[in-house]
Amino acid sequence: MKPFDKLAPGERELALALDPAKMPAHIAIIMDGNGRWAKRRGLPRFAGHRAGANRVRSIVENCSDLGVKALTLYAFSAENWKRPRLEIDLLWRLLRIYLRADLEDLQRNNIRLTSIGRVEALPPLAYRELRNTERATENNTGMRLNLAINYSARHEIVDSVNVIIDEARISGRLARLTIDEAAIGRHLYTAGLPEPDLLVRTSGEMRVSNFLLWQIAYAELYVTETFWPDFDRSELLKAILEFQRRERRFGGLAEVPTAIEAADDEVPEDEARLEPEELQAEDHEEIAVSSQ
């Protein structure tokens, strides 16, 4: 974790409260609220997206300084094609400007840029710029900045399964093919990246919007009312602190009971003989008591 140069008032306390040993390895962000940010200021949506692109710049640098290993940003969903043509064109232009203007910063910070999504469908100029940046940064060993562009998690899962089927067909294994979780994981666009530990959504919407559906199975969710262009370093630190306060159990128990506790928990013999209805009645009583 690199020390921050200048900390604004309030940021210092947040930064000091962080536990460097419990940093999320992978943060994924649904950057929402550019339009509302602009509307609130009486500005065109364009201004919101431009402010959003500037925010990308600072958050990428902050995450890299914090030692985050991977940052995935939802820049354009496969459903975003439904927006007006002018807005879509502007988003591609902003992406190109960002990629070109920030290449130097990415190199200086040793950040590797990659993308996920059906990016071949991008307009040629944006596609070319994206591939250039991916190539130019491919040997960087610092944070992985992963842009989700023309991305849909459902497409991703379908694409993954189709690749598995194609590979099996080519190697003559199709008739015996069975697919398991590991095979799907290996063929997702995010293969090789750790699964996100923390999923952030700005601007208050309680949705995951077809983003990394497979990979966020055990991610901690953090939703803030803050619009994306206002999601500054202190907002990022707050999200990470909240993540560090969460108890991650991955479906297990927080603490593994000792052998003695486990033995104490064993169902006593007379209870083991209870009829199913009696057991249910007892369960209800317990719920009624604990919910008071």
Q: Is 52 in the site for ligand FPP (CB under 6 A)?
A: yes
Q: Is 95 in the site for ligand FPP (CB under 6 A)?
A: yes
Task: Give, as ranges, the residues between 72 and 91 that touch ligand FPP (CB under 6 A).
Answer: 73, 75, 80, 91
Amino acid identity for residue 67 in this structure:
G
Q: Is 147 in the site for ligand FPP (CB under 6 A)?
A: yes
Is 140 part of the annotated catalytic residue set? no
| Burial class, 142, CB count within 10 angstroms (exposed 0-12 / middle 13-18 / buried 19+) | middle
Among residues 14, 31, 66, 145, the one that binds ligand FPP under rule CB under 6 A:
31
Tell me the residue nearest to ligand FPP as measured from the CB. Answer: 35
Q: Nearest-CA neighbor of 213 among 251, 178, 185?
A: 185
Among residues 62, 63, 68, 98, the one that binds ligand FPP under rule CB under 6 A:
98
Q: Is 156 in the site for ligand FPP (CB under 6 A)?
A: no
CB of 34 to ligand FPP, least distance (A): 4
Among residues 14, 23, 26, 32, the one that binds ligand FPP under rule CB under 6 A:
32
Backbone φ, ψ for residue 27 (5° rounding) = -110, 135
| Burial class, 155, CB count within 10 angstroms (exposed 0-12 / middle 13-18 / buried 19+) | middle
Among residues 26, 27, 49, 219, the one that binds ligand FPP under rule CB under 6 A:
49
By CB under 6 A, how many residues form the interface with ligand FPP? 19
List % helix, strand, coil for the chain (3-state, nearest 5).
Answer: 50, 10, 35
Which of the residues 65, 80, 140, 232 is marked catalytic? 80
Is 139 part of the annotated catalytic residue set? no
- Rounded (5°) CA angle 80-82-88: 60
Q: Nearest-CA neighbor of 239 among 88, 10, 23?
A: 23
Residues that bind ligand FPP (CB under 6 A): 31-36, 49, 52-53, 56, 73, 75, 80, 91, 94-95, 98, 147, 228
